[in-house]
């Protein structure tokens, strides 16, 4: 297994997380606050007609099962929170991840990993890495761990460490991969100048202070090394007006935007340009970015764009309710039945060929000066 470049007194094994299961997030918005934010009530979606097929549980997938096993870690880490039948990580620092960590969502994350590679034309990263110079790699918020595993396969001489607040990564991995429990919002305990490459993907709603995140990354990155961040916008757009105000897709950004404010962990990473601003403030140079338009579904006439939309649609629909249940309960105080109704409307619009929606992904990378 890969060795950890941490100082001995900061080793995870010597400081297991507390055994108490953390309390749930802040109280939902009041009806007055919801109205002020332009959020439509659950009664609105209950009143909108749906075909029977639109209400099918999104757990039913024709893609089969993506299996994953968990690593053997401190038992207290497995004391998960349960919200409306879905499990979320136990107490790790001040973490408050909004995605479930149960098997159903792990399978969705594994599919999501492939969807993200399709967005990057089959690549794991865009940074101009030189293979001979890559020896230590950190994947922040590794999720299911597939990015770390794939990178380790591509770079067999590099040691790859993936961190997350949930121990949901596979146990059978290449010998140059290891996974550790860590909250990226805490002060990083890695030694200075530890990594040749630090990778982050889809941390919206997770990071409380993006400037601090990149300051930590700058300190731990080796001179000449790269840090890369992939994030997305929360607004579903359309050039022809087919994503209409008052629809579920239009409401999506309002829900996620208000949830980020409520938690103190913004989802507006793309909208507020948090990646580039954070990298620049931390001291990175040669900062480059690439914006990628991802359609909602397969409506786009360009074959590559349609493929990007197809895989993103499949990944999200694998557990659509899992992506929104915690936030709708947190922000709106909705029940599982109410959340399922909203998800059905979102799915219906997503699959409507007359809705030409899309959103933006942004990849940003920068180099630490030598």
pLDDT 10s digits, 65-94: 222 322 333 444 445 556 556 666 555 445
pLDDT for the residue 88: 63
| Regions of the chain with pLDDT less than 50 | 1-23, 56-78, 92-93, 95
How far apart CA 101 and CA 92 sit, in angstroms, is 14
Beta bridge partner(s), residue 364: 229, 289
Side-chain-facing half-sphere of 236: CA atoms under 13 Å? 25
pLDDT for the residue 230: 97
How far apart CA 312 and CA 317 sit, in angstroms, is 8
Q: Which residues contact 193 (CB under 8 A, 6 or more apart)?
A: 220, 221, 222, 223
pLDDT for the residue 49: 87
C-beta separation of 74 from 17 below 8 A:
yes
C-alpha distances out from residue 323 to 108, 328, 343, Å = 10, 10, 10
C-beta separation of 214 from 227 below 8 A:
yes
- Residue carrying the six token digits 């770390």: 148
Q: Which residues contact 255 (CB under 8 A, 6 or more apart)?
A: 39, 324, 327, 328, 331, 332
Enter the pTM of the model.
0.83
C-beta separation of 200 from 221 below 8 A:
no
> Which of 247, 267, 248, 243 has the alpha carbon at shortest distance from 327?
267
Sign of CA dihedral 249, 251, 253, 256: negative
C-alpha distances out from residue 73 to 77, 94, 165, Å = 7, 19, 12
pLDDT for the residue 35: 87
pLDDT for the residue 310: 93
The length of the chain in residues reads 370
pLDDT for the residue 104: 75
176 Cα distance to chain centroid? 24
Residues 320-342 have pLDDT tens digits of: 887 888 888 877 788 888 888 99
Q: What share of the chain is helix, strand, coil (3-state, %, to 5)?
A: 35, 20, 45
Q: Which residue pairs, CB below 8 angstroms and at least 24 apart, start in 58-61? A: 58/317, 58/318, 58/319, 58/320, 58/321, 58/343, 58/347, 59/104, 59/319, 61/317, 61/318
Q: Residue 190 carries which DSSP code?
A: B
Side-chain-facing half-sphere of 184: CA atoms under 13 Å? 32
């Amino acid at each position: 297994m890969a060795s950890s470049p941490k100082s001995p007194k900061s080793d995870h094994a010597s400081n297991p997380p507390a055994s108490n299961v953390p309390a749930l997030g802040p109280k939902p918005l009041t009806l007055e606050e919801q109205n002020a934010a332009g959020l439509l009530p659950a009664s609105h979606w209950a009143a909108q007609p749906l075909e029977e097929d639109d209400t099918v549980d999104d757990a039913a997938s024709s893609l089969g099962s993506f299996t994953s096993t968990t690593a053997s870690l401190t038992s207290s880490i497995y004391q998960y929170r349960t919200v409306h039948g879905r499990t979320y990580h136990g107490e790790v620092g001040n973490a408050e991840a909004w995605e479930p960590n149960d098997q159903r969502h792990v399978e969705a994350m594994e599919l999501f990993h492939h969807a993200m590679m399709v967005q990057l034309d089959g690549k794991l990263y865009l940074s101009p890495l030189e293979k001979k110079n890559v020896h230590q790699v950190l994947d922040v918020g590794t999720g299911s761990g597939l990015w770390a595993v794939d990178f380790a396969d591509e770079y067999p001489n590099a040691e790859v460490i993936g961190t997350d607040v949930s121990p949901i990564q596979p146990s059978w991995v290449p010998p140059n991969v290891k996974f550790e429990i860590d909250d990226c919002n805490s002060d990083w305990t890695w030694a200075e100048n530890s990594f040749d490459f630090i990778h982050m993907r889809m941390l919206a709603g997770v990071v409380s202070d993006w400037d601090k995140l990149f300051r930590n990354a700058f300190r731990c990155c080796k001179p000449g090394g790269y840090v890369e961040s992939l994030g997305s916008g929360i607004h579903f757009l359309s050039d022809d007006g087919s994503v209409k105000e008052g629809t579920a897709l239009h409401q999506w950004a309002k829900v996620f935007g208000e949830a980020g404010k409520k938690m103190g962990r913004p989802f507006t990473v793309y909208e507020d340009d948090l990646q580039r601003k954070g990298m620049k403030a931390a001291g990175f140079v040669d900062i480059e970015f690439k914006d990628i338009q991802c359609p909602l579904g397969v409506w786009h006439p360009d074959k590559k764009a349609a493929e990007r939309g197809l895989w993103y649609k499949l990944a999200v629909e694998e557990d659509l309710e899992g992506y929104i249940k915690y936030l709708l309960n947190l922000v709106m105080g909705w029940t599982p039945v109410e959340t399922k109704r909203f998800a059905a409307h979102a799915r219906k619009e997503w699959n409507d060929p007359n809705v030409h929606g899309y959103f933006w992904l942004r990849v940003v990378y920068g180099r630490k000066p030598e």
